[in-house]
Chain A
């Protein structure tokens, strides 16, 4: 009985070490230099269905919708009416983003999205969000794309456009 308990104790200890080790390894492999999208407050995340509803609405003022990820992906599919604003993970991309919002009022609703990768792996959306907040924009939302733009927007039947 004592031997059996010892076996389970060792097994449990090794299992916990393996789980913690795997989690630490994954975090190290996928940590994004510009900050993780997890840093964006939940209150500033917008679900795809909510954005689609907003864009379809007749009364509300339309938001400024900007894609802050890959240009090639934007050319393949993007939210109708949105503009490409440069990759948020790159300095040149953030400069382009600044130019895209330059004429917008500080309280204008700005929705940024990427969708290159799962939310927790996206290198673009958090730096773009951070820069807009630093510039004084007070109404910035990030479209919450759980997996990628293909699965979570196009695949779910929300409207999409192609080209530049």
Chain B
């Protein structure tokens, strides 16, 4: 009976989708590749000017199911942690803009959304699967990389840790 109960506990843990951080060693600890792009509203987004903030850089696409699950959570974090110097930037890897405009409204994205391209993807080590999220510390260095269906609690803990570093 006890063995069965423990088995179920393990199954529950697995069913929760918990996964570890997939770190891309080539970029972790290095300065985040700088980019300057307009967001969907035309506002200029310069990653270099965000030095001093903790940046969550998320590569996503409208057709990516796990991305659609994450993005509303990121919007909540933007609201909760924005005053502490937290900034989400979403990079759409869609081929066309039209579905992105619709998704921004539907998913209530309250942060800048820029349109990605192959160069930006290559600069970040090749975005060859979605979603991919980079956490960038206040010093502009990449602290963590999350790929695929990530454990958002683990990611939030990493965000809080970076925010606590002044």
How many residue pairs between the two chains, A and B, have CB atoms under 8 Å in the bound complex? 98
B127 touching A76 by the CB < 8 A rule? Answer: yes
Q: Is A72 an interface residue (CB 8 A)?
A: yes
Q: Is the interface of B mostly helix, strand, loop or mixed?
A: loop
A72-B15 Cα distance, complex, nearest whole Å: 32
Query: Given the complex, which residues of B lie within 8 Å of A16, measured CB to CB?
Result: 8
B129 touching A116 by the CB < 8 A rule? Answer: yes
- Of the listed stretches A45-53, A55-63, A128-136, A148-156, chain B binds A148-156
B8 touching A115 by the CB < 8 A rule? Answer: no
Query: Given the complex, which residues of A lie within 8 Å of B95, measured CB to CB?
Result: 70-72, 87
Query: Given the complex, which residues of B lie within 8 Å of A26, measured CB to CB?
Result: 17
B99 nearest CB neighbor, chain A only: A90
B65 touching A149 by the CB < 8 A rule? Answer: no
- Of the listed stretches B41-49, B117-125, B150-158, chain A binds B117-125
A34-B8 Cα distance, complex, nearest whole Å: 34
Q: Is the interface of A mostly helix, strand, loop or mixed?
A: helix
A87-B96 Cα distance, complex, nearest whole Å: 11
B128 touching A23 by the CB < 8 A rule? Answer: no
A115 touching B129 by the CB < 8 A rule? Answer: yes
- Can you give 19 contacting A-B residue pairs, CB < 8 Å? A8-B5, A11-B8, A18-B12, A22-B16, A32-B65, A72-B116, A76-B126, A76-B128, A115-B129, A116-B63, A117-B65, A117-B66, A117-B129, A148-B128, A148-B130, A148-B147, A148-B148, A154-B128, A162-B118
B contact set with A: CB distance below 8 Å: 1, 4-5, 8-9, 11-12, 15-17, 61, 63-66, 69, 93-95, 116-118, 121-122, 126-130, 147-149
